[in-house]
Chain A
Amino acid sequence: MSASNENLKDMIGQEYKDGFVTDIESESFPPGLNEDVIRALSAKKEEPEFLLEWRLEAYRHWLTMEHPEWSFVEFPKIDFQDISYYSAPKSMDDGPKSLDEVDPELISTYNKLGIPLEEQMRLAGVAVDAVFDSVSVATTFKDKLAEAGVIFCSFSEAVKEHPELIKQYLGTVVSQFDNFYAALNAAVFSDGSFVYIPKGVRCPMELSTYFRINAANTGQFERTLIVADEGSHVSYLEGCTAPMRDENQLHAAVVELVILKDAEIKYSTVQNWYPGDENGLGGIYNFVTKRAECREENAKVSWTQVETGSAITWKYPSVVLKGDNSIGEFYSVALTNNYQQADTGTKMMHIGKNTSSTIISKGISAGHGQNTYRGLVKVGRNAENARNYTQCDSLLMGDQCGAHTFPYIETKHPSATIEHEASTSKISEDQLFYCMQRGISAEDAVSMIVNGFCKEVFKELPMEFAVEAQALLGISLEGSVG
Chain B
Amino acid sequence: MLKVENLHVSVEGKEILKGINLEIGAGEVHAIMGPNGSGKSTLSYVLSGREGYDITEGRVLFNGKDLFEMSVEERAWAGVFLAFQYPVEVPGVSNIYFLKAALNGIRKFQGLDELDAMDFISMVKNKMKDLDMDEKFLYRAVNEGFSGGEKKRNEILQMSVLEPTLCLLDETDSGLDIDALQIVAKGVNRLRDPKRSFVLVTHYQRLLDYIKPDYVHVLAHGKVVKSGGPELALELEEKGYAWVDEKIAS
Chain A positions within 8 Å of B27 at CB level: none
Interface status of B73 (Cβ within 8 A of chain A) = yes
**A-B pair number, CB within 8 angstroms:** 81
Closest to B97 in A: A448
Interface string of A440-467 (1 = CB under 8 A from B): 1110100011011111100000000000
In contact, A433 and B51 (Cβ under 8 angstroms):
yes
A433-B72 contact, Cβ under 8 Å, with A439-B102, A444-B101: yes
Stretch at the interface among B61-69, B81-89, B214-222: B81-89
Q: How far is the CB of A432 from chain B (nearest CB, A)?
A: 9
Please judge, given known A-B contacts A439-B73, A439-B77, A439-B105, whether A434 and B51 are in contact too, CB under 8 Å: no
Q: Give the CA-CA distance A433 to B90 in the complex, in Å.
A: 11
A451 and B102 within 8 A (CB): no
Given the complex of chains A and B, what is the CA–CA distance between A456 and B141 in angstroms?
Answer: 12
Given contacts A437-B49, A439-B106, whether A449 and B93 have CB atoms under 8 Å apart is: yes
CA distance in complex: A452, B143 (Å): 13
Encode contact with A along B92-107: 1 for CB under 8 Å, 0 otherwise: 1100011001110110
Question: A441: which of B73, B84, B91 is its contact (CB, 8 Å)?
Answer: B73
**Is there an interface contact between A440 and B93, defined as CB atoms closer than 8 Å?**
no
**In the complex the two chains form, is B72's CB within 8 Å of A452's CB?**
no
A440, B73: Cβ atoms closer than 8 Å: yes
Nearest residue (CB) in B for A454 is B92
Alpha-carbon separation in the docked complex, A24 to B162 (Å):
65
Which of B50, B92, B98 lies in contact with A438, CB distance below 8 A?
A: B98
Count how many chain B residues have C-beta atoms less than 8 Å from C-beta atoms of the other chain: 33
**Does A429 make an interface contact (CB < 8 A)?**
yes
Of A430, A439, A441, A451, which is within 8 A of B93 by CB?
A451
Measured between beta carbons, the chain B residues less than 8 angstroms from A431 are 88-90
Q: Are B90 and A440 in contact (CB under 8 A)?
A: no
List CB contacts (< 8 Å) of B160-204 with chain A: 162
Judge if B139 is at the interface, Cβ distance under 8 Å: no
> Are A434 and B90 within 8 A (Cβ)?
yes
- In angstroms, how far is the closest chain B Cβ from the Cβ of A459? 10
Closest to B158 in A: A438
* CB neighbours of B51 from chain A (8 A): 429, 433
Q: Does B48 contact A (CB under 8 A)?
A: yes
Q: With A433-B51, A452-B93, A452-B141 in contact, do A438 and B102 touch (Cβ < 8 Å)?
A: yes
Closest B residue to A428 using CB positions: B88
Residue numbers in A under 8 Å from B158 (CB-CB): 438
**Smallest CB separation, B93 vs chain A (Å):** 4
Q: Can you name the residue of chain B whose Cβ is closest to the Cβ of A425? A: B91
A448 to B87, CA, bound (A): 17
Per-position 1/0 for A243-276, Cβ under 8 A of B: 0000000000000000000000000000000000
Q: Is the CB of B49 within 8 A of A448?
A: no
Which of A428, A438, A441, A455 is packed against the most chain B CB atoms within 10 Å?
A438
Determine whether B243 belongs to the interface, using a CB cutoff of 8 Å to chain A. Answer: no
Collect the chain A residues with CB atoms within 8 Å of residue B88's CB.
428, 430-431, 433-434
Q: Report Cα–Cα, A437/B97, bound state, in Å.
A: 16
Q: Tell me if A166 counts as interface (CB < 8 A to partner B).
A: no
Rounded to whole angstroms, the CA-CA distance of A456 and B91 in the bound complex is 11
| B 206-239 to A, binary, CB cutoff 8 A, 1 in contact else 0 | 0000000000000000000000000000000000
Q: Which residues of A contact B156 (CB under 8 A)?
A: none
For B91, what are the chain A residues with a Cβ–Cβ distance below 8 Å? Answer: 452-453, 455
Give every chain A residue within 8 A of B81 (Cβ-Cβ): 437-438
Interface centre among A428, A434, A453 (most CB of B within 10 A): A434
Asked if A435 is an interface residue, CB under 8 A from chain B, the answer is yes
Pair B87/A434 contact, Cβ less than 8 Å: yes
A residues 218-239 near B (Cβ < 8 Å) are: none
- Does any Cβ of B come within 8 Å of A436's Cβ? yes
- Are A437 and B93 also in contact (CB < 8 A) when A429-B51, A448-B98 are? no
Closest to B48 in A: A437
Closest A residue to B107 using CB positions: A439
By a CB distance below 8 angstroms, the chain B residues around A436 are 49, 71-73, 76
> 4 nearest interchain CB pairs?
A452-B92, A455-B92, A439-B105, A452-B93
> Could you name 28 residue pairs across A and B whose Cβ atoms are closer than 8 Å?
A428-B88, A429-B51, A429-B52, A434-B84, A434-B90, A435-B90, A435-B98, A435-B102, A436-B73, A436-B76, A437-B48, A437-B72, A438-B76, A438-B102, A439-B73, A439-B106, A439-B109, A440-B98, A441-B105, A442-B73, A444-B101, A448-B93, A449-B93, A451-B92, A452-B92, A452-B93, A452-B141, A454-B92
Known: A433-B72, A435-B98. 11 other contacts (CB 8 A): A428-B88, A429-B51, A436-B49, A437-B48, A437-B49, A437-B80, A437-B81, A438-B105, A440-B101, A441-B73, A448-B98
